Amino acid sequence: MSSAETAAVPPEAASPEETGEAVRTRWQRLSGGLLIGYQFAQRAARALVRGVHQRWRGSLQLRVVSTTLVISLAVAAVLGFFLVQQIRSGLLEAQRESALREHAAGLSTALSELQDGEQPVDRDKQLYDIVEELSGGSGTSSSGHDAMILPSVDGSSGWVAGGVRETTVPDRLRERVQSSGGVDSSYWTYTTIQRERGANEPGLVVGAPLSHAYELYYVFPLTHEQGILDLVQNTLVFVATLLCLVLGVIAYMVTRQVVSPVRAAAGSAERLAEGDLNERMKVRGADDLARLAVSFNEMAGNLQEKIQELEELSRAQRQFVSDVSHELRTPLTTIRMAGDLLYEERDDLDPTMARSVELLQGQLERFEELLADLLEISRHDAGAATLAVEPADIRDAVLKAVGDSEQIAEKRGIKVVLRLPAEPCVAEFDTRRINRILTNLVVNAIEHSEGKDVIVTAAGDRDAVAVAVRDFGVGLKEGEEHLCFDRFWRADPARARTTGGTGLGLSIAKEDAQLHGGWLQAWGEPGAGSQFRLSLPRKSGQELRGSPLPLVPPEKPMGRARPASAPAAEAEQGRPAVTGEGR
């Protein structure tokens, strides 16, 4: 068989199952395409609405111009509507009065011809002649009218001029004319003139009884009046549109003169807030905006002077603290050596002297702690603090901090509960500084726990490690979660202190955490305790984007009070809870 013959052979018919499967496949593709198109259109519409909303809220000039245009359009529409209504009423009233006069004259003429002379032989011809005589113009002229005489008996045709259909006269008007009972009453109404040839047009129909058997109607076209109204409406629309555009341009130019200086003032204020104390506004003219610029420049100048004074005072204070701290080290070392000698020989002294030596030793330790904190603060202020970064397990730092505070916890009868992960949480940090931070947090939690347990939790993820120290004591008032890191700040100055302290611990801890590129944050509520969270990046110098532990404790999601037995209850629920003796 040749190739041509092979091509001519029809293909094998597909089975019904294959045909149905193909239809379902095409329908699924079509449905999927329509769904994707709908979702795309929906996202585009939402993006457009958001863009317009943001643009509307962010531009004073756009709001002023848009409001001016909307109000102008509304005023033009209202005034144009009333103006068109007044013109329309005046035109129609004038046409109606003229129509009534012409109809009255025509009615008198028709009555005279019907009553003049003897009864005509051909009444139809007489009525037709009357209609032709009374018709003014061809019926299509704007100044003419068409006449028609219609019989009062239903089913009979009338006499009409100008090619106007009898249906032009509404039934309601004929009923009023027929029920009037006299020839001196004329009635009118608006209608649509229907002609044998040509398009329909608006019109006015005036009618009255001609005799007991006939009725006389005048049909007045209103095309001329309609043309005047259309011209007035088009003119008003054009003028209103042009006026709104002019007002929009005027509003744009006026608001630009006001908004541009305001934007310049906002930009200057932003740059001043960012730290550019040399920023000043340009003063143009002597109006209100010029006075604003002058006031802004005076404010910026005074602010710059005050900030420079404060910076000089701060530098002097830092220098004083640094100098005093260093100068005190030498006499303190001598006093410390003498105190240590006396402390070692306290057993050979009388009880009064031995007690004095013990008090001296305690105050020397506190003095050394204060001096060390002042030196550390001065290093941070001078930007001389450095890190000795090395890979370390955050769990070891937690255990060391808990061990250092073990004596304080035992003295107050407080148990420190550890919740440490089973896997190592290795990160790069300065172990000395992190141990100091954690020790400070644990000691503060013990001091403010009001005899309840303290929970220390550690966790880690791919990018960060974190430690949270939770107590159930007095808590923090609103706003104190930021104040607690200020230097020498105390939540309750009247409260007795049992562990000494310099008031610089949390401030130094905050500086150390920031030096690592980490966070030290606080949460608390009165009567519900507090929680401090330290978050560190896994790698030194890496930006910290999140923390493995929540700042707000999970057992306090909505601010409800937590019972004192909650730590033990959580341990019973299967959560890891061990004391400071081990992991």
- How confident is the model over 515-573, as pLDDT tens digits? 888 999 999 888 888 999 999 998 888 888 889 999 888 865 433 333 333 333 333 33
* Residue-level pLDDT at 156: 63
Q: What percent of the chain has pLDDT over 90?
A: 7
**pLDDT computed for residue 362 by the predictor:** 74
Residue 4: band (very low, low, confident or very high) from pLDDT cuts 50, 70, 90: very low
Least confident residue range of 16-30, 65-79, 279-293, 419-433: 16-30
pLDDT 10s digits, 174-213: 888 888 766 567 889 998 888 887 778 889 999 888 877 8
Element (H, E) at 294: helix 288-344
Q: What is the pLDDT of residue 210?
A: 83
Question: What pLDDT, on the 0 to 100 scale, is given for residue 466?
Answer: 93
Residue 241 has pLDDT above 80, yes or no: yes
- DSSP per residue over 399-433, as a string? HHHHHHTHHHHHHHT--EEEE--SS--EEEE-HHH
**Torsion (CA) 410, 415, 421, 427 in degrees, nearest 10:** -40
pLDDT of residue 333: 78
pLDDT at 533: 93
Return d(Cα 379, Cα 386) in angstroms, integer: 9
The set of residues, in sequence order, having a beta carbon less than 8 Å from that of 484 and lying 6+ positions away, is 476, 491, 506, 522
Q: Which of 29-38, 138-147, 203-212 has the highest mean pLDDT?
A: 203-212
Indicate if the pLDDT at residue 6 is higher than 50. no
Name the nearest CA neighbour of 435 among 537, 484, 505: 505
- Residues 494-521 have a mean pLDDT of 74
Q: In the predicted model, is pLDDT for residue 372 greater than 80?
A: no
pLDDT value of residue 570: 35
Mean pLDDT rounded to a whole number for the chain: 78
Most confidently predicted of 85-94, 253-262, 570-579: 85-94
* For range 435-440, the mean pLDDT: 89
Cβ-contact 583, 420 below 8 angstroms: yes
Residue 364 has pLDDT above 50, yes or no: yes
pLDDT value at position 569? 33
DSSP string, 206-266: EEEESSSSEEEEEEEE-HHHHHHHHHHHHHHHHHHHHHHHHHHHHHHHHHHHHHHHHHHHH
pLDDT attached to residue 526:
87
pLDDT value at residue 573: 33
In a 10 Å sphere around its CB, with 0-12 CB exposed, 13-18 middle and 19+ buried, how is residue 59 labelled? middle
The whole-number average pLDDT for the span 295-311 is 83
Q: Which long-range contacts (CB under 8 A, 24 or more apart) does 231-237 make?
A: 232/83, 232/84, 232/87, 233/80, 233/84, 236/76, 236/80, 236/83, 236/84, 237/80
What pLDDT was estimated at residue 576? 32
pLDDT at 493: 54
The secondary structure element, H or E, covering residue 523 is strand 519-525
Q: Hey, what are 109's tokens? A: 């003429």
Q: What pLDDT was estimated at residue 142? A: 46
Q: What mean pLDDT is predicted for residues 435-451?
A: 88
> Can you give the pTM of this predicted structure?
0.45
Whether pLDDT at 381 is above 70: no
- pLDDT for res 357: 80
pLDDT of residue 154: 65
What confidence tens digit (pLDDT) does each residue in 456-489 have? 999 998 889 999 999 998 888 887 878 888 777 7
